[in-house]
Structure 1
Amino acid sequence: MSLTILCTTVLALLSAGIVVHRRRSSLFFLRGPVPTSYLLGSFLLAKGHEYELNRQSDVGNLEFSWVKEYGPTLRIFGCFSEDILMIADPLGLQHIMQSQNYPKPTDIRIIAERVFGRGILFATNEAHQRQRRALNPAFSTQQIKYFVPLFQEATSQLVKKWIKRLDGVDTINLNMAEWIPKITLDVIGRSAFNFNFGVLDGSAEYNELYLTLRDMFLDSTSPSAITILYSAIRRRFPQSFGFKMFRTKEDRRLSAFLTAAQDAAMNILKQKETVYSDDRDILSTLVRSAADEDPRRRLSEEEIVSQITTIILAGNHTSASTFVFMLYELACHPESQARVYEEIKGLRSQTGFDTSPSPENYESMPYFNAVIKETLRLHPILPTIIREATFNDIIPLSISVKSKSGKSLSHIPVSKGQRILMPLSVYNRLTQVWGDDANSWNPVRFFDNRKDVNVGVYGDLYSPVVLKKLAWLFRVLELQVMLFGFLESFEFLLPPHGLDMQRVPSILMMPMIRGRPELGTQMPLYVKQRDISGSE
């Protein structure tokens, strides 16, 4: 109630001033949707499209319809009629993402600080470059390949647990959204920090961290109008009106994660009493950076703790959520699942059952890897990235759009301070890039190199798993190891009554059963053990 009173009061005092002093419209020439709230009075008008985007049932529904009508570059409205440029054009995205002149806006950095601390996702300019230089050695290609046996060990551990549960029964029903984050959290601990969180073993010590990770974005779904307006006001006045004193449920849940992750980070650091020069885990690299004589690579203890919390969350959620959706797609498309299994059997016939696959072995299976890429394409777990122009610029387009006057536009001028919304899910389904079947599951599309785009480092995908050059190979190898281990041992099936999954918009995209939000994150699939002798 106090939050509602605060928001209503602040809204009444500030909304007029915000509208009067807001930047003159710089995108007046662009077409775009009209907020439905135009028809419902000035209070609803203040919410712009932010309310609609955050309240839609499934990620991308609105954006897909807008792009179909107006093209992949358009104008939408934020709260208080703020002009926002929404762009999914390949060349435009490339221009923005490869430039240092489009950083995260202040409000996004504040959210990053609340979630991760002052790590690499918060830092800008020199601090970001310094932290990146310190982390680079830990994410070299050779270093990442060293982690593969640790990925395989954790995968084998979970496989054995499921086989034990299958003893005497044909299938079991498991919630993948509950199980997969356990393995990815343990993988992060073992490979990045030489530390065992023990959640796969049922250890209670870090169960709170696991539960906080699993549920931390539940309060970010279906926000109320008051919450959206409060966030918009706080975005414009981040240090004013004591906003830090009035915390939403989302604030409290994110703060709980940061506390749990920082406690874990300090325990990890305490365990790391001695760092030898040949230690290969990421933590050793971070600790060595604290003693680096070169100030351009030296990290403080606060920054090291923040890097650990960043790796725990970003590494866990990106891999776990992607893999959950991958198993769902394979259950929906048994012919794809069978084809991947045939490639796995073919590799086994060459390498032997007792031989652990190498990174090169994983890369040798074309359809296997196409399934990973197709999952990343259809289900980017971070639906949207937001940037802000730091100077007047002209953004080039590869797909022309029509202006309000009917003129064909191949470039979009933007003013300093322009807020830019880049929907990953829209780019990943553009028919101009991916073909007429862009909304359908079709891994074979990656056998065709017809796309003349250069957005990401892996399959021209626009996904948080591979968008960051620093850690993309770590995540891809982790997905490869889990996919190989799981599909070699199990077949994944939809429940007999079917499964109506909802891709719920949040800070990240969350899987839920349609109409059952009270159940939280869900992906219930039936699991059946394969005949490991290869006689299937």
Structure 2
Amino acid sequence: MHLYGRTYKIKGALFHPDILVIGDQVVLRDILGKEAYSYEVKSPISRTLVERVIGRGLVWAEGDVHKRQRHELAPFFTFSAQAVRNMFNNVSTCTNIGVENLESHIINNANDPKQGLTVNIMESTESVTLDITGRFVLNYDFESGKSHIAKFFKETWKKQCSVSLYWTSVLGHVIIRAFPFIAHLPIPTLEAQLAVKKALRDIAQTAANQTVNEGQEKDLLTTMVRVRYGAPEMSSTIMYVLSTLRSISRRTMINKPDYQVCTIAFTSQDTTAGTLTFALHQLAMHPKYQSRLRDEIIQLGREPTYDDLMSRMPWLDAITMEILRLRPIGPHIERVAAEHTVLRFGNRVQTSDGAEISEVAIKAGQTIIIPIMAMNRLKSVWGDDADDFNPERWLDPARLEHVDRKFGWNGMLTFSDGPRQCIGYRMALLIFKTALAAYIRKLEFHDTGAVIHARFVGTLQPYIASEEEKGTQMPLRVTLVNESGVDPAY
């Protein structure tokens, strides 16, 4: 965007039409808002790949099917404030256990406790968010990432992401776009995707056979039923949920109701873990902001409450918004025109021959890329330091004078916008803030000097430059806040 402006086109590969890259807010309000269902969210091949990983759930759905599925799933994320507070206890418990596990690992393995221990922090963040997802969504215990199925899930996903780090994976996607039938062949990487889906479906079925404590609305599925469907008294509310989802499936053409459970579990776990990993890395590289956040937490004089985390901690808010701006876990999204249409720009666009145009015709089937990360780093909007991690920008209204806070979420499309906005973004913010505060309260994170790059492999994933063969990783040196490992405020 710095070179070509907010709107430009790139040549389509292997018989495909040109792809439009659009960052014009006027056009995007139409594409993501009032004309949202005139565009498909994914190309046919992307839908095929999504179906292989998590099935025909909300992420896969298009058009009327998506409308119905979102309507049925809305109660998951629109329950009462009291229900959210009840869920917060589970989230807090999981994060505290995860942090304590990391503390113990450092104490037991560091040669010098003062120097701490270098760890791949992804292993901890993924365990924490997987544990939260299990309890929050399924009332299922992943044993802090230590259970057999938790290890299988993490290892399979890591292998899949690691394979995608190589440049050959880009060529693979181009070939699959041209020859979609390849996606159905028994290729190892694609078979790994099927293994992930099967593991998630097994978890959903296991959850259906577990007992939920009566009267407690601490997991997402229980709350959905209590609030939306008025679940009867029964030994397992999860059983009632899946029964309800089976009824929904007959009305919404979902082949397997477990796919919605898979969708929620997969998207909430991976995306939040990635954002948390990048946040800890940025705080390790910017110790002054890490210290300010820790001071804010310590000054509470107690463990943060739900209200503290969500509305009473300005530094936590600023750091949260800044990492979601700088490192959106989905750096771009695509839309595919379902019909011939004309896009009308808010600002005139200069073509390669020097002419200026105010609109452009696109054909049905043509792909549009919305470059979220690039838009989040526009210097004309965010200032000359748009590429830098600087949470202070969110504490100074004058620095946000060019940011339209009503566009997307806080002026960003990190959670998309409109009818297809991330349905679980409030849940993601709750988990992220709770986990980040728990880590920073007890542990200090230090940069190791490793050059970290990020690549989009379904979600944004970190790796060490020139070490793609080692797969996704984020090495950080971790020390205890003090020698006893106990926060001075406690």
Task: Using structure 1 for the length normalisation, give the TM-score.
Answer: 0.78
Q: For residues 67 and 104 of structure 2, what CA distance do their matches in structure 1 show?
A: 48
Count, aligned residues: 455
The aligned counterpart of 1:74 is 8
- In structure 2, the residue corresponding to 1:527 is in which secondary structure? strand
User: Is structure 2 residue 34 aligned with structure 1 residue 93?
Assistant: no
| 2:151 aligns with one of 198, 207, 217 | 207
The aligned counterpart of 1:113 is 51
Structure 1 residue 457: Cα displacement: 4.7
Q: For residues 271 and 418 of structure 1, what CA distance do their matches in structure 2 show?
A: 46
Label 1:163 to 1:222 Cα distance change in 2 as closer, same or farther (>3 A): closer
Label 1:257 to 1:409 Cα distance change in 2 as closer, same or farther (>3 A): same
| 1:144 aligns with one of 81, 84, 91 | 84
Task: Determine if contact 2:271/2:329 at 8 Å carries over to the other structure.
Answer: yes
Label 1:252 to 1:205 Cα distance change in 2 as closer, same or farther (>3 A): closer
The aligned counterpart of 2:229 is none
- What per-residue deviation string (whole Å, max 9, x for no partner) do you get for residues 348-402 of structure 1? 1xxx42x541234442111211111111111112222111112233334344431
The aligned counterpart of 1:393 is 341
Structure 1 residue 78: Cα displacement: 1.8
- What per-residue deviation string (whole Å, max 9, x for no partner) do you get for residues 76-131 of structure 1? 01213631101123333222112211112222221211111011111222322222
Structure 1 residue 188: Cα displacement: 0.2
Task: Determine if contact 1:70/1:401 at 8 Å carries over to the other structure.
Answer: no
- The amino acid across from 1:248 in the alignment is I
Structure 1 residue 219: Cα displacement: 2.4
Structure 1 residue 296: Cα displacement: 9.6
- Aligned positions of 1:294-313 closer than 5 A: 302-313=255-266
The aligned counterpart of 1:195 is 140
The aligned counterpart of 1:265 is 204
User: Is structure 2 residue 259 aligned with structure 1 residue 321?
Assistant: no
Aligned-pair identity (%): 25
- In structure 2, the residue corresponding to 1:68 is in which secondary structure? coil
- What per-residue deviation string (whole Å, max 9, x for no partner) do you get for residues 155-176 of structure 1? 1112222222333612111111
- The amino acid across from 1:458 in the alignment is W
Label 1:268 to 1:534 Cα distance change in 2 as closer, same or farther (>3 A): same
- Aligned positions of 1:105-504 closer than 5 A: 105-140=43-78, 142=81, 143-167=83-107, 169-170=113-114, 171-200=116-145, 202-224=146-168, 227-234=172-179, 238=180, 243=182, 246-271=185-210, 279=217, 281-284=219-222, 285=224, 287-288=240-241, 290-291=243-244, 302-346=255-299, 348=300, 352-353=301-302, 355-447=303-395, 448=397, 449-453=400-404, 457-464=408-415, 468-495=421-448, 498-504=449-455
The aligned counterpart of 1:534 is 488
Structure 1 residue 275: Cα displacement: 9.2
Label 1:166 to 1:417 Cα distance change in 2 as closer, same or farther (>3 A): closer
Structure 1: gaps (5+ residues): 1-66
Task: Determine if contact 2:138/2:207 at 8 Å carries over to the other structure.
Answer: yes
Structure 1 residue 464: Cα displacement: 4.3
The aligned counterpart of 1:506 is 457
- What per-residue deviation string (whole Å, max 9, x for no partner) do you get for residues 431-482 of structure 1? 2221221111111222324245367553222224998342101000111101
- In structure 1, the residue corresponding to 2:427 is in which secondary structure? helix
Label 1:229 to 1:465 Cα distance change in 2 as closer, same or farther (>3 A): closer
Task: Determine if contact 2:309/2:316 at 8 Å carries over to the other structure.
Answer: no
Label 1:283 to 1:456 Cα distance change in 2 as closer, same or farther (>3 A): farther
Label 1:472 to 1:465 Cα distance change in 2 as closer, same or farther (>3 A): farther
Structure 1 residue 409: Cα displacement: 3.2
Q: For residues 340 and 465 of structure 1, what CA distance do their matches in structure 2 show?
A: 27
Larger CA deviation: 461-470 vs 511-520: 461-470
Task: Determine if contact 2:165/2:468 at 8 Å carries over to the other structure.
Answer: no
Task: Determine if contact 2:271/2:459 at 8 Å carries over to the other structure.
Answer: no
Q: For residues 175 and 131 of structure 2, what CA distance do their matches in structure 1 show?
A: 37
Larger Rg: 1
Task: Determine if contact 1:131/1:297 at 8 Å carries over to the other structure.
Answer: no
Task: Using structure 2 for the length normalisation, give the TM-score.
Answer: 0.85
- The amino acid across from 1:521 in the alignment is T
Q: For residues 394 and 214 of structure 1, what CA distance do their matches in structure 2 show?
A: 41
Structure 1 residue 294: Cα displacement: 8.8
The aligned counterpart of 1:43 is none
- The amino acid across from 2:465 in the alignment is R
Q: For residues 101 and 64 of structure 2, what CA distance do their matches in structure 1 show?
A: 46
Task: Determine if contact 2:57/2:254 at 8 Å carries over to the other structure.
Answer: no
Q: For residues 316 and 434 of structure 2, what CA distance do their matches in structure 1 show?
A: 11
Q: For residues 366 and 325 of structure 2, what CA distance do their matches in structure 1 show?
A: 27
Q: For residues 535 and 356 of structure 1, what CA distance do their matches in structure 2 show?
A: 12
Task: Determine if contact 1:173/1:525 at 8 Å carries over to the other structure.
Answer: yes
- In structure 2, the residue corresponding to 1:387 is in which secondary structure? strand
Structure 2: gaps (5+ residues): 226-239
- The amino acid across from 2:139 in the alignment is N
Q: For residues 300 and 276 of structure 1, what CA distance do their matches in structure 2 show?
A: 31
- What per-residue deviation string (whole Å, max 9, x for no partner) do you get for residues 467-516 of structure 1? 83421010001111011111111111012xx1201112322221111111
- What per-residue deviation string (whole Å, max 9, x for no partner) do you get for residues 275-327 of structure 1? 96864522333744744899699678854310111122111111000010000
Q: For residues 254 and 333 of structure 2, what CA distance do their matches in structure 1 show?
A: 29
Label 1:277 to 1:407 Cα distance change in 2 as closer, same or farther (>3 A): farther
Structure 1 residue 231: Cα displacement: 1.1
Q: For residues 322 and 444 of structure 1, what CA distance do their matches in structure 2 show?
A: 19
- Quote the RMSD (CA, aligned, Å): 2.8
User: Is structure 2 residue 463 aligned with structure 1 residue 518?
Assistant: no
Q: For residues 507 and 472 of structure 1, what CA distance do their matches in structure 2 show?
A: 18
Q: For residues 88 and 535 of structure 1, what CA distance do their matches in structure 2 show?
A: 46
